[in-house]
Amino acid sequence: MAILQGKKAIVIGDRDGIPGPAIELCIQSAGADIAFSATECFV
C-alpha cells in the first residue's frame, strides 16, 4: 500500500544530512503533497 500517495507531507530536512528541498522533490514524485518543509540545523 502506498505510504505517500495523496498524503500531506511534512518535510524536516537537515543541513548536515538530506536538506528539505531534496526530500520535497523525492516525495512529490511519489504523489505526496508538501504541506510544510524546513531544513533544520542540529549543531
With CB under 8 A as the rule, give the number of residues binding another protein: 32
Tell me how far, at minimum, the Cβ of 40 lies from another protein, in Å: 6
Residue numbers 14-43 binding another protein by CB under 8 A:
14, 16-20, 22-23, 25-27, 29-32, 35-36, 38-40, 42
| Grid coordinates given for 14 | 537537515
**Per-residue cell: 15:** 543541513
Q: What is the DSSP annotation of 1-43?
A: --SSTT-EEEEEEETTSS-HHHHHHHHHTTT-EEEEEEEE---
Q: Residues interacting with another protein, by CB under 8 A?
A: 2-5, 7-14, 16-20, 22-23, 25-27, 29-32, 35-36, 38-40, 42
